[in-house]
Every structure is written in C-alpha cells, then in structure tokens.
C-alpha cells in the first residue's frame, strides 16, 4: 500500500484516550463521505448512564443531541440496539488479560522434569533388576567354575555407564549374560535419547513463566484477583443475574475473591504490580496501548498479555436512534472493510516498542526469548554437579578416615 493511503490521523489529542484506529476511521469516513467534524471532549468512561448513581454515560451525548457519532468500542448487545443505532462492525476485538511480568527464577528442577515420577521409579526398579540378574548369573557361573574371575563390580559400572552414555564392555561369553546386557543396552539407548531430547526444551523454557495463560487459570486459581472496569462490556455480562457459562464462573470468582474493581482504566493498570496477583481484563487494543505507555514511563517492559484471548466481540459505531446518517456511515464502513485498509492501519500505529514485542502464532501470544542461556537456565545442571562433587568429597573423606583407622589398628597389633 503506497504512502497516499496512510491515514491523516497522527494520534489522539491530549486528553483523549483510546486506540489510534478509531481516529483513523473517522478521518477516512470524513474523506469518503465528504463531511467535516469537530470532537467533543468527554469525561465519562462508561456507555450506558447509571440513573441510580446519578452518573452520565457516553450515550447521553447521543440522547441529548450533543453529538452525531460515537467513535469508541461499542459492542453490539440487544439492550443497546433498543436505544441507539449501531453500525456494521468495523473491526473485531477480543478481551485479553494484562498481567505483570514475573521475576526470573532459577530453573532448579529442569534436570528431573523430562520424566514424570512414575518413569523415574520404573527406571530405578529396572536398574536394580538388571544388576540383580547379572550378579545372579555371575554367582551361578562361580558355582560351576570356582576359578571364574570375580567381576560383579563391573556390572554396576556397565549398567550405570550405559545410562550416562559412557559405555562399558561386557566381557562375559555366556549367552544369558549377553542377552541381558543387550536388552539393557537397547533400553538405555531409548531412555537416554528420550531424556536428552526433552531436557533441551526444559532448559530453554522461560525462567519467568507468565502469571496466567487463559481465563481458565483465572477461574481455577484462588490466588488470582480479576479486575475489570465498571461499565465495560465484560462488567455488563458478568453482572447479569442470568449469566451462564464462563460468565457465571467469573461472577462467582468475583464474589468469592472480593476483587477490587475500578472506575478508570488507569486505576486498574496501577493495580498490576510485580508483587501482586491481579490481572486486568479489557479489549486487546487498549491493553497494547497500556504496555506501550508503561514502557515509555518506566523504560522497561513491566506488563505483558496472557497467552489466550477470550470473548471475541464485534466493534461498532453508535449514532442516535433513527439517525439520518446511519445508512451512509454503514456504507462508508463497508467500503473501508472491503478495501482491507482497516487492518492495515495497525502497521501505521505500532502499539508496542521493539523491546516488548510479542510474536503471534496460531492465536497464541508468546514472548521472545534470548538465544544465549543464562545461569538460571542451567541451575539444575550445576546443582547436580556440585551435589556429585560433594558426595565424592564425602566418600573420599570416609576412605581417608578408614585408612587412618586401619593404620592405627595395624600399629596397635604390632605392639
């Protein structure tokens, strides 16, 4: 797409918040339908008025004829269709969870994670069984041939050496021994290959896993506090007395956890701190703006999105009921949708800096990982190394003490 298709919208004026594409849409509609407009600055942050609280909503500007077009994320519901005109959807959004970036932790258990505990138990039993079989065969051989060389200790090294990829020779010429050794060699090859291939993925896994991945983590984890803005579409659906499905579960979650709610988006975002377990649900485009603003203020990426979105919603524009401009605006939106320019606008307005970019693949949002490994990635390997060295030093010390005791005993016997 060439430069002339770039929208005239250069960003939200000071005091007006929201995704940039809304302003680009308004500029493009004005150019396509040949009209001029002026913006009405507002202080309300909810759509529907709240008479019981004596609180105005953005729809009041349509009811009072103070504006002809409401350019914001208006999700289509039957209640809203009764009081205002809604256009055809001009984009589609989903709710995403804004979460704090977790602190990096040491990858202590990477060395044992490739196998579940039943596999480790079965492997230990297999080692004991193979060593026992080889020793029994060797003892039988000694009974038949007393002059046979004692090599029981070699079997321990043979069994464990195959698992550690060190290898060891099986010098026995008995067929039974060679069959047991051959079976163990094949089994050890499978174990080692399976372990090393899976170990790589655990070593390379992020050492600061996200707080949650999906809405189901919010529901199932009692430590997670769900935040959403009062007056938002999610608030309307969760507060519905006749809510069902996922919204009923979220409703019960909010009731049992006593999660604090907020009137402004900024209030919700300020509650997302590194040491908290708060998560904020809002439209994904607003969350991307929040990540960008947080980076500009702090100079680091302190916020991120959970992997999975939920509750896809069509985003429309709102006009006064029976407005004479509804059909014209609908045609203008359809024209922009057919041209594909609406989605292309995202490339003109990047919502996140390069340091906080996410790679989107198959609907999943994941973090970029560094190519080099840190010490925290390989913590488990160093733990195994130091434990092994410590055990070796302990055995060495025991051998020295044993040698000293034998020396003193020998001197005492001489006397």
State the Cα–Cα distance between residues 20 and 350, nearest whole angstrom: 9
Which pLDDT value is given to residue 362?
A: 33
Range in 140-149, 179-188, 213-222 with the lowest mean pLDDT: 140-149
Range in 20-34, 152-166, 209-223, 255-269 with the lowest mean pLDDT: 152-166
- For 274, the token pair is 């590194």
Residue 207 has pLDDT above 70, yes or no: no
The answer to whether 96 and 284 have CB atoms below 8 angstroms apart is: yes
State the Cα–Cα distance between residues 129 and 112, nearest whole angstrom: 22
Which pLDDT value is given to residue 2?
A: 34
Mean pLDDT in residue range 1-26: 53
User: b or e along 23-52 (b: 16 or more beta carbons within 10 Å of the residue's beta carbon)?
Assistant: bbbbebbeeeeeeeeeeeebeebbbbbeee
State the Cα–Cα distance between residues 316 and 87, nearest whole angstrom: 5
Residue 106 has pLDDT above 60, yes or no: yes
Taking only the tens place, the pLDDT of each residue in 54-68 is 778 888 888 888 889
Range in 199-208, 227-236, 247-256, 352-361 with the lowest mean pLDDT: 352-361
pLDDT band at 162, cuts 50/70/90? Answer: confident
- Please, which residues have CB within 8 angstroms of residue 332's CB and are 6 or more apart in sequence? 28, 29, 32, 33
Q: How far apart are the first and last CA of the chain?
A: 103
Range in 90-104, 197-211, 319-333, 353-367 with the lowest mean pLDDT: 353-367
Three-class SS of the chain? CCHHHCCCCCCCCCCCCCCHHHHHHHHHHHHHHCCCCCCCCCCCCCCCCEHHHCECCCHHHHHCCCCCCEEEEEECCHHHHHHEEECCCCEEEEEEEEEECCCCCCCHHHHCCCCCHHHHHHHHHHHHHHHHHHHHHHHHHHHHCCCCCCCHHHHHHHHHHHHCCCCCCCCCCCHHHHHHHHHHHHHHHHHHHHHHHHHHHHHHCCCCCCCCCCHHHHHHCCCCEEECECCCHHHHHHHCCCCCHHHHHHHHHHHHHCCCCECCHHHHHHCCCCCCCEEEEEEHHHHHHHHHHHHHHHCCCCEEECCCCEEEEEEEEEEECCCCCHHHHHHHHHHHHHHCHHHHHHHHCCCCCHHHCEEEECCEEEECCCCCCCCCCCHHHHHHHHHHHHHHHHHHHHHHHHHHHHHHHHHHHHC
Which pLDDT value is given to residue 355?
A: 64
Strands 91-100 vs 310-320: parallel, antiparallel or unpaired:
antiparallel
Mean pLDDT in residue range 251-267: 80
**For residue 176, is it left (φ>0), alpha (ψ between -120 and 50) or beta?**
alpha
Which pLDDT value is given to residue 412?
A: 58
Range in 145-149, 155-159, 303-307 with the lowest mean pLDDT: 145-149
Dihedral angle computed from the Cα positions of residues 115, 117, 122 and 125, in that order, rounded to the nearest 10 degrees: 120
Residue 302 has pLDDT above 80, yes or no: yes
Residue 377 has pLDDT above 50, yes or no: yes
Mean pLDDT in residue range 258-269: 79
Residue bearing the bigger pLDDT, 287 or 138: 287
Strands 225-227 vs 278-283: parallel, antiparallel or unpaired:
parallel
Which pLDDT value is given to residue 363?
A: 38
The answer to whether 58 and 42 have CB atoms below 8 angstroms apart is: yes
The answer to whether 75 and 64 have CB atoms below 8 angstroms apart is: no
Residue 153 has pLDDT above 70, yes or no: no
Sign of CA dihedral 204, 207, 212, 216: positive
Mean pLDDT in residue range 216-225: 88
Which pLDDT value is given to residue 320?
A: 92
Residue 46 has pLDDT above 80, yes or no: no
Taking only the tens place, the pLDDT of each residue in 84-102 is 999 998 888 888 899 888 7
Mean pLDDT in residue range 75-86: 86
Mean pLDDT in residue range 128-133: 84
- Please, which residues have CB within 8 angstroms of residue 140's CB and are 6 or more apart in sequence? none
The answer to whether 37 and 26 have CB atoms below 8 angstroms apart is: yes
The answer to whether 171 and 346 have CB atoms below 8 angstroms apart is: no
Which pLDDT value is given to residue 413?
A: 60
Which pLDDT value is given to residue 365?
A: 39
Mean pLDDT of the chain: 77
Range in 32-36, 114-118, 122-126, 365-369 with the lowest mean pLDDT: 365-369
State the Cα–Cα distance between residues 121 and 123, nearest whole angstrom: 5
From the list 379, 414, 320, 317, the residue with the least C-alpha distance to 90 is: 317
Which pLDDT value is given to residue 7?
A: 46
- Please, which residues have CB within 8 angstroms of residue 132's CB and are 6 or more apart in sequence? none
């Amino acid at each position: 797409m060439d430069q002339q298709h770039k929208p005239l919208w250069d960003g939200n004026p000071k005091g007006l918040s929201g995704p940039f594409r809304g302003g680009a849409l308004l500029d493009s509609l004005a150019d396509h339908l040949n009209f001029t407009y002026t913006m009405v600055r507002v202080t309300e942050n909810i759509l529907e008025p709240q008479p019981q609280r004596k609180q105005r909503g953005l729809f009041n500007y349509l009811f009072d004829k103070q504006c002809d077009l409401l350019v914001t994320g208006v999700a289509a519901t039957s209640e809203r269709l009764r009081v205002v005109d809604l256009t055809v959807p001009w984009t589609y959004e989903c709710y995403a969870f804004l979460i704090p970036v977790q602190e990096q932790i040491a990858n202590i258990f990477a060395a044992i994670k490739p196998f579940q505990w039943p596999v480790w138990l079965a492997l230990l039993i297999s080692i004991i069984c193979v060593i026992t079989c080889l020793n029994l065969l060797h003892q039988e051989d000694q009974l038949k041939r007393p002059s046979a060389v004692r090599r029981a200790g070699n079997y321990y090294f043979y069994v464990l050496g195959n698992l550690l990829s060190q290898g060891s020779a099986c010098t026995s010429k008995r067929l039974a021994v060679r069959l047991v050794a051959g079976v163990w060699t094949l089994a050890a090859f499978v174990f080692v290959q399976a372990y090393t291939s899976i170990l790589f993925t655990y070593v390379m896994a992020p050492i600061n896993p996200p707080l949650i991945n999906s809405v189901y983590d919010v529901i199932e984890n009692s430590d997670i506090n769900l935040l959403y803005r009062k007056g938002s579409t999610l608030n309307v659906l969760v507060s519905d007395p006749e809510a069902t499905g996922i919204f009923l579960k979220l409703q019960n979650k909010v009731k049992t956890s006593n999660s604090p709610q907020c009137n402004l988006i900024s209030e919700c975002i300020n509650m997302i701190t590194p040491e908290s377990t708060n998560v904020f649900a809002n439209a994904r485009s607003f969350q991307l703006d929040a990540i960008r603003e947080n980076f500009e203020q702090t100079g680091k990426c302190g916020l991120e999105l959970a992997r999975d979105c939920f509750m896809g919603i069509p985003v429309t524009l709102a006009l006064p009921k029976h407005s004479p401009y509804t059909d014209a605006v609908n045609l203008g939106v359809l024209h922009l949708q057919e041209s594909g320019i609406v989605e292309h606008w995202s490339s003109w307005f990047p919502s996140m800096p390069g340091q906080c970019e996410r790679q989107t693949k198959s609907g999943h949002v994941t973090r970029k990982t560094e190519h080099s490994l840190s010490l925290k990635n390989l913590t488990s390997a160093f733990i195994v190394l130091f434990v092994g060295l410590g055990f070796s030093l302990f055995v060495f010390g025991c051998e020295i003490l044993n040698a000293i005791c034998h020396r003193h005993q020998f001197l005492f016997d001489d006397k």
